[in-house]
Amino acid sequence: MRQIVLDTETTGLEVEKGHRIIELGCVELVNRRRTHRTLHHYLQPDREIDAGAQEVHGISAEMLAGKPRFADVAREFLDFVADAELIIHNADFDVGFLDAELGLLGPDAPRITGVCTVVDTLALARRLHPGQRNSLDALCKRYAVDNTGREFHGALLDAQLLADVYLGMTGGQATLLLDQGAGETAVQHLATRPVARDGLRLAVVRASADELAEHERYLALLDKQSGGKTVWRTLGQRP
């Protein structure tokens, strides 16, 4: 299975007001493993960047001088994501901007959902952790993903962080983490960390005679206290 973890940075929040993508970052996963293939571009938007947006991502108009426009990288982008499953945090936002950029290429240009399927990790996180903070920073903390270098939002950096968060949310070795955010009650959550399985050989350690005898003594005690309703006994009698 091929997946592309994607993030964008934009000139502002409202695509309806003509805001544009100024950074595009993609990270490839194949069979839930990073391939180290990425796609990353800073883009010339041909418009001003909102001050509030610049405070978030730190990208200025001067930094984008001489950078390509989305139209210049559109074919490379579409080839990179073709037939993949896109993993995006708050997917409606990024897909809306990508579709707007593609729409500027002409009426025959594809739309994202015509090229890829999309998984929204924000919606997934809200199902897994209802009533809690599910920003990328909060999820990094919850799944023990190191985001200490995230002074500003950045499309490629955030895609890399989201890749680790997504793998944590959807499979791996279970570990109990203490998740406590501002204004939240400390609650233990079952989080996951991916584990490399190549060459993994699990040792089978069987109970000793003394351990089996101790187990039987404990079951006898449970039988006495439960009136013969010990679950271990009833499971052992099932066909």
Question: Catalytic pick from 19, 153, 189, 215?
Answer: 153
Count the Cβ atoms, other than its own, within 10 Å of residue 32: 14
Strand segments, DSSP code E, in the chain are: 2-10, 21-30, 33-42, 85-88, 117-120, 173-179, 187-193
Q: For residue 157, what are the contacts with CB-CB under 8 A and spacing of at least 6?
A: 25, 149, 150
Which token pair is 80?
Answer: 């990179």
HSE, side-chain direction, 13 A CA sphere, residue 114? 9
- Spatial strand order of the sheet with 117-120 comes to 33-42, 21-30, 2-10, 85-88, 117-120
Q: What is the Cα–Cα distance from 224 to 239, expressed in whole angstroms?
A: 24
Q: What is the Cα–Cα distance from 94 to 136, expressed in whole angstroms?
A: 15
Tell me, yes or no, if 19 is annotated catalytic: no
- Both ends of the chain: CA-CA distance in Å? 39
Q: Give yes or no for a contact between 157 and 208, defined as CB atoms under 8 angstroms apart.
A: no
Catalytic residues: 153
